[in-house]
A and B are shown apart, each in its own frame.
Chain A
Amino acid sequence: MDILRTHPMAVIAGVLQENPFFIPPDEFLRELRARAGNGNDS
């Protein structure tokens, strides 16, 4: 789930933790651009 990957911290099952799925914004924006370039926005 993309939204989870945009937050450095997460509360999951009532526990605050560093989010292991977090992607820094530079990298995530590159990924989003690559997806758009491939015509795949899923």
Chain B
Amino acid sequence: MGVSEDTRTDGEAGMRNGETDRPITLAGTRLGQYRHVCAFFHTRDEEYRVFLPFIKEGLSYGEKAFHIVDPTLRRDHIDRLAAAGVDVAAAEQSGQLELRTWQEAYLRGGHFDQAAMLALIEEVLIDGQRSGFPLTRLVAHMEWALEDRPGVDDLVEYETRLNYILPKYRDPVL
């Protein structure tokens, strides 16, 4: 697919440098070496049918969950996690689950700054490693991009530039 990685391709989730990954299952399929994923859904119910098993699998492996959500749907997101059996308060307290709203991530300062956001994503992935998490599963809701926000035109460039950063890490980013 043209994303450069100096790993062997074994058709399944990458086994790199002798390290064995636990499987990353998304939509019932094991994610392979390319882990920058976009997902389109018609409804939030459909979206959570795909996301919740993915999120819960990561939490069960002791991985970090970093979620960026619509501020108006933050409560709904938490409720859906809780309904799926996630102890949200405990996970947040331990640092295993970190929730940010768009204003605390993409739209800091009221506009989208691609350089700042690229730096934030890499910082999140590095911090996850430093904190001892075997992996970070990053889930970002992007509906704000459909709104007329300052800087939104840079989003495509940001997303393509993520493909320089993400292959350096094993963490899935949705």
Contacts and interface: CB of A to CB of B under 8 A. Distances in A.
B153 interface: yes
B34 A18 contact: yes
Given A6-B163, A22-B1, A14 B50 contact: yes
Interface string B49-79: 1100000000000000000000000000000
Nearest to B161: A25
Interface in B11-64: 26-29, 31, 34-40, 46, 49-50
Given A24-B1, A25-B163, A2 B156 contact: yes
A22 B2 CA distance: 9
B35 A7 contact: no
A6 B2 contact: no
Majority-rule SS of A interface residues:
mixed
B157 interface: yes
B31 A3 contact: no
Interface centre among B36, B49, B50, B142 (most CB of A within 10 A): B36
A41 B26 contact: no
Contact of B26 (A3, A11, A28): A11
B105 interface: no
Interface in A1-42: 2-12, 14-16, 18-19, 22-25, 27-29, 32, 41
Contact of A9 (B35, B49, B142, B164): B35
A19 to B, nearest CB: 7
Interface of A: 2-12, 14-16, 18-19, 22-25, 27-29, 32, 41
Interface of B: 1-3, 26-29, 31, 34-40, 46, 49-50, 142, 145, 153, 155-157, 159-164
